[in-house]
Amino acid sequence: MNEGYILQVSQLNKAFWGVIAVFNVSFELKKGDFLGIIGPNGSGKSTLLNLITGFVRPDSGSILYCGREISAKKPHSIANLGIARTFQMAKAFYRMPAYKNIIIPLCSARARQFRGGVYGERDDIAMDLLEEVGFDRSSGVPYKLTSSLPHGYLKRLELARSLALRPDLVVLDELFSGMSMAEVAGTLPILEKLKERGTTLLMVEHRLKELFRVANRVIVLNYGRKVADGSPRDVMEVEAVKEAYLGSE
Amino acid sequence: MKNRKERIDRGIKARTDDVYAVSGPKEISYILFPRMLLVLGLIISSILANEYWQEVIVSACLIGLLAVSWTLLTSVGLVSLGQALFVASGAYIAGILNYYLNWPIFITIPTGTFVGGAFCTFLLMPVLRLRGIYFSMVTLILPLTIGKVFEALHILGGNDGLSGLGRFTNSTVTCFLAVLATLGCFFGMRRLMATDYGLVFISIGDNDQAAMSGGIDVYSRKNQNVFLAAAVGAFVGAFITHWIGFVGTPAFALDYSILPIASAVVGGIGSQAGAMVGSFIVVPLAEILRTLGGIRMLFYSLALLVFIILLPEGIFKYLERKYHQFERRVKVE
């Protein structure tokens, strides 16, 4: 393993009943990087994230996390190694109050290492995390039933849930989708803060303007293939990228 | 000017909902009253009841335990239609140990509980990945199939079963033991579900993928949940074996699968207390209607339908709401 790489994906392939979703994708991610993954709908972005986080098994290829092969590991094992994720469609625990959504990852093997056994402490950690993603502690929102929260809150709740694992790598699947401009504007500083803290981020996003504000590198996928890799400014100049987004003449 | 009904939570509800912040004897009695009603009600009625009604109380307790076990499974999203499998496992294990090895009751019941729970968990392990109706179908088929195999191959006496097994000394002792076991299990399960361990179960039932991404080993937790639920069911089976002094294929009866679900539906799905309250309606109701003879099933079904239509949230949730809220009429423009 090359020193400094937190994630090394090589020759990754996945097909669903003959339909290629990811084809020979390789890339590396350095510690502290903020990598954006973009591409048209159906280009394999979410599948790639599912492969990295263990929700889908690759047909071939390898995924090294801190030099350790994780492609055959289960999602919870990968999460406990330090890779946390959010989902494209917000997945929350709707039958619980919002703050209890954060308590679930705090019950994981990874989180138990750094949280004390005192019963009350978990609530404080949950509240701190919710406040970090923009929930007002003094309002009643953290105590509201999750099913009653609007979409923007659910997305940020997911982000807080992923941060509860104190992850080294955060994988975000279209975090901004369905968020209002104000909500996105409120979320961007959170991501910048994470970046400053040295957390590695991998983000699939369709809202390119917002993504390019925070990502320092971008990969472009089309039909499951990597067609460009570089700084946000550079990749948008690549002919294949223009073709993927705008179509060819 | 029209009136509308306004429901407002009592202040004490907010203080006792999650974190107990009570002060003074009035608030403590507010919390203790419904619990003591159940505890004292069961203990006093088991002392005062005649032999017949003591048996009804035992039946209600045992169905209540199965309903609690069923509710525990639903917390992780598993809808079982085969509590009879758990009952039969505990019943046969206790019966075998008593019949062939002459083990006393106080050893056969705990052994039946734990070994029965472990056996059912092992049996259901491969199907835990199934969701929804597929898991339900498997749990429905398993006890029916195993029961038929026992019957056809005359295993452990087939329909005749094993008789002459050790019994509890008298009906009062049986009733007392059933009540104690029910109260212990019920309050234990409620406590369990209020801890982080129980919260993880609920999260799995809510969204297993979100739980996985939070570092929770969903498959292992489901196994633990099934073990706990199966152990409660196996206890019921072992208890029945020594209550009637017999174990046979009736242990696989569909009643053990359906009555707990009916109890949970009548009492309120998703709540341990609802399941318990439901069993104390469903079982005595069946006994009261027994005097009607052949048409009792019609009245029984009608009564259940009325409960479901008029109180779809379940009678316990309705009573709970009434207890925690007050209502008033307010004028609307």
Confidence band of A149 (pLDDT split at 50, 70, 90): very high
The 10s digit of each residue's pLDDT in A174-208 is 999 988 888 899 899 999 999 999 999 999 998 98
Does residue B206 register a pLDDT over 80?
yes
Interface test with A, best of B17, B19, B20, B213 (most A CBs within 10 A): B213
Angle between helix B132-152 and B255-267 (nearest 10): 150
Confidence band of A116 (pLDDT split at 50, 70, 90): low
Does residue A244 register a pLDDT over 80?
no
Q: CB-based contact (8 Å) between B269 and chain A?
A: no
Closest chain A residue to the Cα of B207, Cα to Cα: A93
Inspect the interface and report whether the beta carbons of A104 and B213 lie closer than 8 Å: no
Confidence band of B218 (pLDDT split at 50, 70, 90): very high
Interface test with B, best of A87, A107, A122 (most B CBs within 10 A): A107
Confidence band of A248 (pLDDT split at 50, 70, 90): low
The 10s digit of each residue's pLDDT in A200-230 is 999 999 898 899 999 999 999 999 999 999 9
Does residue B94 register a pLDDT over 90?
yes
The per-residue pLDDT for A140 is 84
User: Do B273 and B190 touch, CB atoms closer than 8 A?
Assistant: yes
Confidence band of B324 (pLDDT split at 50, 70, 90): confident
Inspect the interface and report whether the beta carbons of A91 and B202 lie closer than 8 Å: no
Inspect the interface and report whether the beta carbons of B214 and A75 lie closer than 8 Å: no
The per-residue pLDDT for B6 is 82
Mean pLDDT of A111-121: 67
Closest chain B residue to the Cα of A172, Cα to Cα: B213
Question: Contacts by B37-44 with C-beta closer than 8 Å and gap 24+?
Answer: B38/B183, B38/B186, B38/B276, B39/B183, B42/B179, B42/B182, B42/B183, B43/B179
The per-residue pLDDT for A246 is 66
Residues of chain A with C-beta less than 8 angstroms from the C-beta of B18:
97
User: Do B286 and B302 touch, CB atoms closer than 8 A?
Assistant: no
The per-residue pLDDT for A3 is 66
User: What are the domain boundaries of chain B?
Assistant: 33-332
The per-residue pLDDT for B190 is 93
The dihedral built from the CA positions of residue B153, B158, B159 and B160, taken in this order, carries a sign that is positive
A92–chain B nearest CA distance, Å: 6
Q: CB-based contact (8 Å) between B21 and chain A?
A: no
B27–chain A nearest CA distance, Å: 22
Phi, psi for A27 (deg, rounded to 5): -165, 160
Inspect the interface and report whether the beta carbons of A93 and B218 lie closer than 8 Å: no
A238–chain B nearest CA distance, Å: 35
The per-residue pLDDT for A249 is 60
- Out of B202, B211, B213, the one facing A85 most closely (by C-beta) is B213
C-alpha closest to that of B284 among B19, B127, B21, B64: B64
Closest chain B residue to the Cα of A165, Cα to Cα: B214
Inspect the interface and report whether the beta carbons of A107 and B196 lie closer than 8 Å: yes
The per-residue pLDDT for A240 is 76
Mean pLDDT of A135-141: 86
Domain extent, residue A111, equals: 5-246
User: Do B181 and B58 touch, CB atoms closer than 8 A?
Assistant: no
Q: What is the CA radius of gyration of chain B?
A: 21
Mean pLDDT of A156-181: 93
The per-residue pLDDT for A115 is 64
User: Do A165 and A75 touch, CB atoms closer than 8 A?
Assistant: no
The 10s digit of each residue's pLDDT in B258-309 is 999 999 999 998 899 999 999 999 999 888 888 887 788 888 888 888 888 8
Supply the CATH classification number for the domain B33-332.
1.10.3470
Confidence band of B20 (pLDDT split at 50, 70, 90): low
Q: Residue A150's domain is classified under what CATH number?
A: 3.40.50.300
Phi, psi for A227 (deg, rounded to 5): -110, -15
Would you say the pTM of this structure is higher than 0.80? Answer: yes
Does residue A120 register a pLDDT over 60?
no
The per-residue pLDDT for B22 is 64
Inspect the interface and report whether the beta carbons of A85 and B203 lie closer than 8 Å: no
Q: CB-based contact (8 Å) between B215 and chain A?
A: yes
B62 CB-near residues (< 8 Å, 6+ apart): B178, B182, B236, B239, B240
Mean pLDDT of B77-100: 96
Residues of chain A in Cβ contact (below 8 Å) with chain B? 53, 55, 74-77, 79-80, 84-87, 91-97, 100-101, 103-111, 122, 158, 161-162, 164-165
User: Do B225 and B201 touch, CB atoms closer than 8 A?
Assistant: yes
Does residue A122 register a pLDDT over 90?
no
Average predicted confidence (pLDDT) for chain A: 90
Interface test with B, best of A93, A112, A119 (most B CBs within 10 A): A93
> What DSSP assignment string belongs to A43-87?
SSHHHHHHHHTTSS--SEEEEEETTEE-TTS-HHHHHHHTEEE--
The per-residue pLDDT for A34 is 95
Confidence band of A93 (pLDDT split at 50, 70, 90): very high
Does residue B187 register a pLDDT over 60?
yes
Average predicted confidence (pLDDT) for chain B: 91
The per-residue pLDDT for A62 is 96
Confidence band of B1 (pLDDT split at 50, 70, 90): low
Does residue B192 register a pLDDT over 80?
yes
